[in-house]
Structure 1
Amino acid sequence: MNIAAILPRFLPFGFQPWAARLPEPTTEAAGPVQRTLPRRAVMALENRPLQLRVLRGWIWITRDGCPVDLVLSAGEVFEQRPGARVLVQALEEVEFSIAAAGASAQNA
């Protein structure tokens, strides 16, 4: 599945997605970075092992090459492994944290 091909179907006409890059953690032991995304904002995750924890709201996660998308709510966690492009969209205003994950992290 090509994310770039399906994303326009989910975005309202004229909506320009907001994209953000998270800063690289200085060490593997670096603490989580908290972020807030407004409703309908889209963010690409970096291509490295990460753990995303939803603190408030609902998010939609789609992975390039994966036929199943995920919807997460407060308290749920997504672990990313490198290799596939991952997009996160806020279904409502959402607050989440992202931290470096161990080398064995896998997509949920």
Structure 2
Amino acid sequence: MTITNALAGIAVDDIADALDFYERLFGRTADARPMKDVAEWKLAGGGWVQVFTDGDRAGASSLTLVVDDLGEELGRLELQGLKPVSKAIGDFFKTAKFRDGDGNQIIFSQPQPGTY
């Protein structure tokens, strides 16, 4: 078996409420709305992020997005009114953690030079 792509899922309580956050997070409206309660964003590397209504699982999702320049991304997100709940610098990555309105965790991560 060869895996050729991935779709990461984020469960939210109400897609209409979550869309504002995720549109600001990704800097654009969803690339696809395949169903009423689903919104999808295509990533430059080929994967997709799917945000969907699932009240039973809302708030229990975690997503890590790898970026080239964390500082630049944090500046863009701050202009959108989004501020991280925490930041960290480790041997391999610099990270910033965000939470959506349901409590789902979204981490932006930049590899340290020579580690990726």
TM-score, normalising length from structure 1?
A: 0.26
Per chain length, whose mean CA-contact separation is higher, i.e. which structure has more relative contact order (CA < 8 Å, sep 6+)?
Answer: 1
Question: Which structure dedicates a bigger proportion of its chain to helix?
Answer: 2
Question: TM-score w.r.t. structure 2 length?
Answer: 0.25
Quick check: which has more Rg, 1 or 2? 2
